Amino acid sequence: MTGQETSVEESLEKERYDRQLRVSGWRQELLQKATVLIAGVGALGCEISKNLALMGVGKLILVDNDVVELSNLSRQILFRDQDIGRSKSQAAAEKIREMNRYVEVKPVEGDLRRIPLEYYEEASVICACVDNWPTRRWLNSTAVETGKPLVDVAMEGVYANVQDIIPGKTPCIECHGEELIPREVQAAECTLRRRRPEDLAQDLKEQGITVTLQEAEELFKAGIKTIFDIKYSPLGGLLKLNPSGGELIQRIRELLRPKMPALQSVAAAISGIATMEIIKILHRGSLGKPYSGLIIYDALASRVTRVPLSRNKECFVCGEYARGEEATLTMEKDTTVLQLKEVIAQRYMYPDPEVQYKTKILKDDVKLGQLTADDELMLFIHTSRRLNPLTIKVKLI
């Protein structure tokens, strides 16, 4: 490209953003150098991706492991009839490129928890647009441990909310988990997954759903051990783990948890608020500070409420434990690993903890006192709810 062509291109790009450049404190160069990772390309992810693309954010990384369905078209603005059955991240990326040729778009297909960490490390801001708490908790941990700002957005029916997590400065999602995470979800997260297929079949029977023992065993192979796994795990991931049992999984899930109501108008409203929070973070203060609490939108009451939140210094994700100080538990020497897991599940809402001592993952029947002659143990707790293991110091009595 010649110098004259470059000058013309720069002039066209500047004209594209003319109206937003007139906002006091606006710094387009900061947006053009930024990368935003959108975790989940549903109603919220589509809206926010569209907003950021039109405003000229330099690069968008769109992550989703689902495909477009007919029921998506009433509220997911980047998809059309011809996209049904296609990858959401791929279809969304095509539409974004059509909207703004100056924006680089990277579609990523896969489970948010299994894609390369480099995608998160590259991001200037992570935006969580997911519909389940296990993935939301993992993204929160990833943002804190990589030091990346996270804007978490959620909606259900006529209600929606936004929370900004600036590691080391604002509360993270776990700081007020007992107050903000729904009680039923807390119960699910506190349920230790040490069960048999027979237990799952019995739980489903109590809910009025009959499955054979063989079907329960198939569900176990897909990692489904409780009714909460079916209700709150990402559906796309479940189906990919066990494609042959897809119809069974979807049938049971629909009976246990009918699809939640969703409105395009609510998605657009809360996404506009979330987009501005991202823009403020990228502007580094020249457009004001991002809000450190929870923003709640009630569409029926036409009301936006701001709920102040403070950091919990004892938070096991962003508090002292995240700065190198271990959590401490006092246990008897004849405590088994299984009993320790039950305590961990209740205390930290980790339903799937694995306990590591030195280089080994411990079996459930091992007694803690068998591991050392000392009065203390340093253990590492692995779970799908956080990026890196939680370090726990166990005092033996």
N residues, the chain: 397
* Beta-sheet pairing, 327-331 with 390-396: parallel
Catalytic (active site) residue 127: no
281 phi/psi in degrees, rounded to 5? -60, -45
Instruction: For residue 81, give both structure tokens.
Output: 């009839």
Q: Report whether 94 contacts 80 (CB < 8 A).
A: no
* Distance in angstroms (rounded) separating the CA atoms of residues 347 and 316: 10
* Distance in angstroms (rounded) separating the CA atoms of residues 293 and 214: 47
Indicate which residue of 46, 129, 175, 190 is catalytic. 190
* Distance in angstroms (rounded) separating the CA atoms of residues 154 and 130: 7
The conformation of residue 207, written as its DSSP 8-state character, comes to T
Region of 324 (left: φ > 0; alpha: ψ -120 to 50; beta: rest) is left
* Helix ranges, 100-245 (H): 118-122, 133-146, 177-180, 183-189, 197-206, 213-221, 227-232, 235-241
Kind and range of the H or E run holding 381 = strand 376-382
* Distance in angstroms (rounded) separating the CA atoms of residues 129 and 111: 13
Instruction: Give me the active site residues, please.
Output: 190
